[in-house]
Chain A
Amino acid sequence: MTPLMEVTTLRKAFAGVVALDGLDTRIEEGEILGLVGANGAGKTTTLNVIGGQLTPDSGVVRLAGESIESLPPWRRARLGVGRTFQDSRMWLDLTAEEHLRIAIEASHGHQSRESRPDAIEDMRSSVELPKQMLTCLPSQMRLLDRRRVELAMAALNASNILLIDEIGAGLDIEEASILYRLIAALIGRRRVRAAVLVEHKLELLAAFATVIELMEDGKVVQQARCDDPAQVAHLMDRMFDRHSNGPLKAKQTELVP
């Protein structure tokens, strides 16, 4: 069976700096894939290459068997790739309701004339955005509610796959876990078929993800299935070993003969 999404030997370099160096990964229907790794390991670049914000230098991105790596982002969004960004991105001069309306109009295109108020209400409740927030501008909303709107917009386009880049950044762990619970619920209710999450809060991933992959220097170096605590612990060991004192240790051993 073809996986929902498959990424093979992706390479991407920026002016000689290699961001992705032969990345391979795949995600099955119903899964939540967590990407972890140090800054610069290539996590956001991975999402950008899947979402179409960047075009890979080489490699293939397949969505349900179709290769999509050369499509512009808006085409991928129509195919069901939804994206949220690390820095909260909203239109400063539009209300929450207008955000949802634009996303609905763009994703349905001209094919359906389903009742708009219902569609907006449906989106609003799927991310548990308080009703009174609908008429607010982004500047009048707290970060958690802005993130809810961004998630709703991404989930609307993502009948296939959600790409979530550190949605918990700037939020405390309780608030962040609200968002993760919403994502899990979207998948549980088949509103979204799978999600790729970039997150620094490992305990959140351990609680919500199906699989965690550790990235180093632009490729996946270790994988852990979250239903096996030993695998997760092992992955954490490697991550913290390498990024707290690993490189230092290595250097010391090189210096001392």
Chain B
Amino acid sequence: MKEIVAITPLFSISLVLALSCYIVLKSGEISFGQQAFFGAGAYSGGILTVMFGWPLFPALAVSAAVGAGAAAVIGFSLCRVSGFRFTLMTLVLGEFSKEVFAKIEWRRAVDGLTAGPEGPLGFTGIEYYYAHGIQHGTQALIAAAVALVCLIAVWLYGRTKLGRRLVAVAGDPTLAASAAINPVTTRLQAFALAGALAGLGGGLFAHQATYIEASNFSLMVGVHAVAYTLLGGLASVVGPVAGTALDIVFLEGLRVVGAYRMVAFGSLIVLMLILRPRGLLGARAGATS
């Protein structure tokens, strides 16, 4: 039980970020930059609870809104390119925003002490849970509930008109356009939703970690989130869940091999890609091409 409580927040936050990548992958693109929106959500959520005394859930809602807004602004140009160019641009976005996070410096007096992000020194004291006496069990419950809501939201999205259009645009943009679908708008909507999920996940992460800094939002975070999803497969939202579970179980389980953990993990991914190129649960054709 203790182990479950300990691993649930990490699993839930990773899952929310993986769902963000899942939507981008469903649009036919690979983004290595979702950690940018994750970070934007983390900083904005933390700033609101720590510096302005906001309650957690409204702050998380703003995290999601910041993620969506940032994704919509960037998506305006990003969603006009595809394939290799798209991925390259997200890579640049991720690295760029990491630099930006290291520059965020905003101090404000709260209860006689100054609080807020301190640029390269990071953002300490995001202690909402501690200050409100929220125990580990409840924290795990909050994280799991948020992840569940995201999971249901993404599942529902896939069943709407917008979700079908996204599959159409990802599968064949020319055919979609000749069927009166605007490919850019369709992809932009999906990208904003993916940004909202990443922002929300980031908000949760900040409060779970209590301390964030730019290096929390490095390229590897985004790459891992894409890997979870690809490991699980793109056939349905169960893919990211299975992929995240597999990744976390192995990544945590592989601590016994010490410093070789990442080597072992990398080998595992290579093995998976050879044995199950469409992910653990498979994907219908065309989703990633």
CB neighbours of B287 from chain A (8 A): 93
Contact B167 A154 (CB under 8 A): no
> Are A91 and B175 also in contact (CB < 8 A) when A77-B180, A107-B180 are?
yes
Contact among B167, B178, B284 for A77, CB-based, below 8 A:
B178
CB neighbours of B286 from chain A (8 A): 91-93
Docked complex Cα distance between A14 and B197 (Å)? 43
Identify the stretch in A55-63, A95-103, A170-178, A225-233 within 8 Å (CB) of chain B at 4 or more residues: A95-103
B172 sits at the interface (CB 8 A): yes
What is the total number of residues of chain A having a CB less than 8 Å from a CB of chain B? 27
Docked complex Cα distance between A51 and B179 (Å)? 11
Q: Which residue of B lies closest to A107 (CB)?
A: B180
Distance to closest chain A CB from B159 (angstroms): 12
What is the total number of residues of chain B having a CB less than 8 Å from a CB of chain A? 21
Q: Tell which of A53, A72, A102 has the most Cβ of chain B within 10 Å.
A: A102
1/0 per residue, CB under 8 A from A, across B174-207: the answer is: 1111111111000000000000000000000000
Contact among B174, B179, B182 for A103, CB-based, below 8 A:
B179
Contact B175 A89 (CB under 8 A): yes
A212 sits at the interface (CB 8 A): no
Docked complex Cα distance between A33 and B284 (Å)? 39
Docked complex Cα distance between A102 and B180 (Å)? 9
> Are A91 and B180 also in contact (CB < 8 A) when A105-B164, A106-B165 are?
no
Identify the stretch in A78-86, A184-192, A200-208, A239-247 within 8 Å (CB) of chain B at 4 or more residues: A78-86
Docked complex Cα distance between A135 and B286 (Å)? 18
CB neighbours of B285 from chain A (8 A): 92-93
A90 sits at the interface (CB 8 A): yes
B168 sits at the interface (CB 8 A): yes
Q: Which residue of B lies closest to A106 (CB)?
A: B180
B171 sits at the interface (CB 8 A): yes
Docked complex Cα distance between A153 and B161 (Å)? 16
Contact B172 A73 (CB under 8 A): no
Docked complex Cα distance between A142 and B176 (Å)? 22
Contact B164 A101 (CB under 8 A): yes
CB neighbours of B167 from chain A (8 A): 91, 93-94
Docked complex Cα distance between A157 and B164 (Å)? 17
Contact among B165, B177, B284 for A73, CB-based, below 8 A:
B177
Docked complex Cα distance between A92 and B175 (Å)? 12
Contact A102 B179 (CB under 8 A): yes
Give the residues from 98 to 142 in chain A that come closer than 8 angstroms, CB to CB, to chain B: 98, 101-103, 105-107
CB neighbours of B177 from chain A (8 A): 52-53, 72-74, 77
Q: Tell which of A53, A90, A105 has the most Cβ of chain B within 10 Å.
A: A105
Docked complex Cα distance between A242 and B201 (Å)? 67
Contact B171 A51 (CB under 8 A): no
Contact among A73, A93, A94 for B178, CB-based, below 8 A:
A73
Docked complex Cα distance between A78 and B182 (Å)? 10
Docked complex Cα distance between A89 and B173 (Å)? 11
Contact B174 A53 (CB under 8 A): yes
Docked complex Cα distance between A53 and B178 (Å)? 8
Give the residues from 6 to 21 in chain A that come closer than 8 angstroms, CB to CB, to chain B: none
Contact A106 B172 (CB under 8 A): no
Contact A92 B171 (CB under 8 A): yes
> Are A74 and B164 also in contact (CB < 8 A) when A90-B175, A91-B171, A93-B287 are?
no
1/0 per residue, CB under 8 A from B, across A19-51: the answer is: 000000000000000000000000000000001
Distance to closest chain B CB from A164 (angstroms): 12
Interface of B with A (CB < 8 Å)?
161, 164-165, 167-168, 171-172, 174-183, 284-287
With contacts A82-B178, A102-B179, A157-B178 known, what are 18 further pairs, Cβ within 8 A? A51-B178, A77-B178, A77-B179, A85-B174, A89-B172, A91-B171, A91-B172, A92-B285, A92-B286, A93-B284, A93-B285, A101-B164, A102-B165, A102-B168, A102-B176, A103-B180, A106-B165, A107-B179
User: Which 9 interchain pairs have the tightest Cβ spacing?
Assistant: A93-B284, A77-B180, A91-B171, A106-B180, A73-B177, A92-B286, A83-B178, A74-B177, A92-B285
Question: What are some 30 contacts across the A-B interface (CB < 8 A)?
Answer: A52-B177, A72-B182, A73-B178, A74-B178, A74-B183, A77-B177, A77-B180, A78-B180, A89-B174, A90-B172, A90-B175, A91-B168, A91-B171, A91-B172, A92-B171, A92-B284, A92-B285, A92-B286, A93-B167, A93-B285, A93-B286, A93-B287, A98-B164, A102-B165, A102-B168, A102-B176, A102-B179, A105-B165, A106-B165, A106-B179
